[in-house]
Amino acid sequence: MASFSGKVVAITGAASGIGFEIAKILITKSATLSISDIQDAALQSAASQLKSEVDAWIQQTVAEFGGLHCAANFSGVVDDQMGARNLSQQDDDSDYDFVMNVNLLGVWNSMRAELSHMKSGASIVNASSAAGLIGFAGIAAYTASKRAVTRLTRSTCKEFGSMNIRVNAVAPGYIVTPMSNKAVKSMGLAPDDMGPVKASALGRPGQPDEVATLAVFLLSDKASYITGTIIPIDRGLIC
């Protein structure tokens, strides 16, 4: 895989899961990393506050390291009531707002800050989901947020293609991460019992490093002719 020597990479969601694995791989590829993550309590902050924090982080990254060449936007959340309620049982918008503010607006704010400092040859990879490509019962807000990320990815690909800046997304199926484990536990299930796992061709949950390897490839110069692409990595769930 290509070296990232001399390249500055910003990663959101880097404290655990896929984002953490991306950081681990990039360290071995000589990348300079600027990582960000926020705890659950902080996710409840006003969207305007989160935007200012993202702007400040990216500005500090550029000031300290002299530029920004790549970004992996992998912060994400699921509804705490995942799978427990259908849309008609959502009595208020609090869960919807929470999921959308992190999964969609978080990517929006991150990309806006990142792209304002990127030049020719830069690359962004966003985290969508298999749920953003097909529907799943009980996670309407999450599904909507990840579908929106796919559209945002493809729109910005066209907006910045003339500048030779690439924008792609990965669409993982069920991946064993702290976030997904928490959601599955709240449903009283084990990962192997999840419907999407049983319905997939390989019939097993995925591991974070399997997704991270693909994301790092898309960030690299080896993927120089790939942009605007949403790549499922889902054990053959969507096939």
CA 146 from centre of chain? 9
* Set 34, 75, 110, 146: catalytic member: 146
Note if 94 is an active site residue. no
Query: What contacts 81, CB < 8 A, 6 or more positions away?
Result: 95, 186
C-alpha neighbours within 13 Å on the C-beta side of residue 78 = 25
For residue 35, give both structure tokens: 């990582």
* Set 128, 129, 180, 200: catalytic member: 128
Cβ atoms 13, 39 nearer than 8 A:
no
Cβ atoms 235, 200 nearer than 8 A:
yes
- Calpha distance 176→6 (Å, rounded): 32
* Set 36, 142, 174, 200: catalytic member: 142
Note if 129 is an active site residue. no
Query: What contacts 150, CB < 8 A, 6 or more positions away?
Result: 128, 132, 133, 169, 171, 230
Note if 128 is an active site residue. yes
Give the alpha-carbon dihedral of 182, 110, 74, 21, to 10 degrees. -120
Strand-pair partners of 11: 35, 72
As annotated, the active-site residues are 128, 142, 146
